[in-house]
Amino acid sequence: MAGDAKLAVVEAVRTAIVHGEYAPRQRLIETDLCERFGTSRFIARSALQELAGMGLVEFERNKGARVRDIPLTEAIEITEVRMLLEGLMAARAAERVTRSEAARLRGIVTDMRTAVTRSELVRYSELNGRLHAAVRDIAKHTTSDRLLRQLRDQTVRHQFSLALVPGRPAVSLPQHEAIVAAVVARDPAAAEQAMRRHLQSVIEALQSLLGQSAPRGQRRQPAQGARRTPPAEEILAAAAILS
């Protein structure tokens, strides 16, 4: 497997799902994928299987693949795990950070500040992603890295919902600043704690969302057809605030 063709399809479908082009529980018909990505059914199938392994799609016997719907409760669980792993990453980064890496982190965070003052959410998003990637690079913990990637992919959608609650940017930026400060100060314990506090606040936000949005039993979505395609830009801005 792992033919480059398959890998390309996996990546394409992955970003499509993460960016919301495919809605949760939407069926992923193999032949559709074939014509969209110009490959054979076998490739599409393999790609879907790999995505299933990543937890992004699910199979049902004789009914094919659909985009996995991650319920809010599971998103909370995932964020709890993320809190632990990202905390570990932050601590590691604090232990190993070099001078040049520290400078890089500081540069990113000052850019974030200006982006926030100018209300440039997309720019902030990009910087945020770059910051976290930098922390992961510094930590060099491949196991956590791999797991975190999976977990992040699964929760992007809910981060989008969360971005709509007002006032979150105001709390997000100082938390990020605290994380970077601890890392560049080479204080592992403080870095871990800062990262945990950050994600703890995300968990609490998700829990409040849970309380208000699901008063009674599972309200099922239409389940087929992209019910809405939020622009990627919007999604990115959402991810910025919370990750």
Partner DNA sequence: GCTAGCATTTTCGTTAGCAATACCACGGCA
Partner DNA sequence: TGCCGTGGTATTGCTAACGAAAATGCTAGC
Q: According to the binding rule CB under 7 A, does residue 169 interact with DNA?
A: no
Binding partner of residue 31 among DNA, a copy of itself, none, CB cut-off 5 to 8 Å per kind: DNA
Total residues binding DNA (CB under 7 A): 23
- Among a copy of itself, DNA, none, what binds residue 143 when CB lies within 5 to 8 Å by partner kind? a copy of itself
Structural element, H or E, at residue 6: helix 4-18
For 25, the token pair is 């529980």
| Residues 12-31 interacting with DNA (rule: CB under 7 A) | 27-31
Angle between helices 188-213 and 168-184 (to 10 degrees): 160
User: Which of 43, 238 has the CB closer to DNA?
Assistant: 43
What is the closest distance, in whole angstroms, from the C-beta atom of residue 143 to a copy of itself in the complex? 4
Q: What string marks each residue from 16 to 55 as x (binds a copy of itself by CB under 8 A) or -?
A: -----------------------------xx-xxx-xxx-
CA 101 – CA 105 distance, rounded (Å): 6
Q: Rounded to the nearest 10 degrees, what angle do helices 30-37 and 4-18 cross at?
A: 110
The tokens for 204 are 């609490």
- Which runs of consecutive H residues, i.e. helices, occur in 64-187? 72-96, 99-117, 121-139, 142-163, 168-184
- Asked if 65 contacts 52 with a C-beta cutoff of 8 angstroms, the reply is yes
As a dihedral over the C-alpha atoms of residue 160, residue 166, residue 167, residue 172, rounded to 10 degrees, the angle is: 0
Contact string 49-88 vs a copy of itself (x = CB under 8 A):
xx-xxx----xxx------------x--xx-xx--xx-xx
Contact 66, 163 (CB under 8 A): no
- Between residue 31 and residue 90, which ones bind DNA under the rule CB under 7 A? 31, 39-43, 45, 59, 61-65
Question: Could you list the residues that contact a copy of itself (CB under 8 A)?
Answer: 1-3, 45-46, 48-50, 52-54, 59-61, 74, 77-78, 80-81, 84-85, 87-88, 141-144, 147, 151
Question: Could you list the residues that contact DNA (CB under 7 A)?
Answer: 1-6, 27-31, 39-43, 45, 59, 61-65
